[in-house]
Amino acid sequence: MAKLYTNICILAASLLLSGCASSSSSTQSQTVADFFPLVQGQAIGEVHFPEGDTEHGGQGQVIDEIPPSQMEETNYHVHAHVSLFVNGKQIMIPKGIGIMKPWVVENNFIRHGNSLYWLHTHDSSGIIHIESPVETKFTLGNFFDIWGKPLNSDNIAGFQGPVHVYVNTVPFSGDPRNIVLKSHEEITLEVGTPVVAPPVYSFPPELFQ
């Protein structure tokens, strides 16, 4: 009887450990799968917008007290990311927002432009480069103004309908224009249905320097 009891205990412990290992592995796999590595020069989403600013955006004039500069400012240099989904499909944020032509492009990455605003995109990955002579609280509204696209609670870049906004995967209920672009902040804008889970990205190692 003692031997039978011992065997039962060993079997129960084995099953418990197996279940824990399986659960841990599943959770770890799900967590890893939720992270998508960003690579500079990559394009994310379906093409919808032309590259660069619209005629209503940055064309060399001062916008929201942000002037174009002849060179990249490095005193304050951070990066954020914005994703746009419309009816469940991801839409590409185009490269060249905030960068005046002509461009020098290498591997789908704009290396140089005639001039550039302190908020701009070098590629179509959704990475926003914030490069300013002084540290300032730049907002998503500033970025959309430079792009020349509307941004409010029912209109995102011309797409109209129910809007859901997430900041670092957390629902945001305020005015999306007021979202401050912080270092490695991840902003997800969704219009219409279905509403998908906001993606989580890992920034390129060189953008942590």
pLDDT tens for 7-22 read 433 333 333 333 333 3
Please tell me whether residues 92 and 187 are part of one structural domain.
Answer: yes
Please tell me whether residues 49 and 142 are part of one structural domain.
Answer: yes
> Pick from 98, 123, 162, 104: which is nearest to 40 by CA?
123
What digits encode the pLDDT tens for the residues 152-202? 999 999 999 999 999 999 999 999 999 999 999 999 999 999 999 999 999
User: Domain residues for 26?
Assistant: 2-33
Please tell me whether residues 22 and 43 are part of one structural domain.
Answer: no
> Pick from 117, 123, 170, 174: which is nearest to 151 by CA?
174
Please tell me whether residues 25 and 127 are part of one structural domain.
Answer: no
Please tell me whether residues 109 and 18 are part of one structural domain.
Answer: no
Please tell me whether residues 123 and 23 are part of one structural domain.
Answer: no
Please state the pTM of the whole predicted model. Answer: 0.83
Please tell me whether residues 92 and 144 are part of one structural domain.
Answer: yes
Please tell me whether residues 48 and 107 are part of one structural domain.
Answer: yes
pLDDT score at 16? 33
Instruction: Give the burial string for 84-107 (b: 16+ CB within 10 Å, else e).
Output: bbbeeebbbbbbbbbbbeebebee
Number of domains in the chain: 2
Please tell me whether residues 28 and 49 are part of one structural domain.
Answer: no
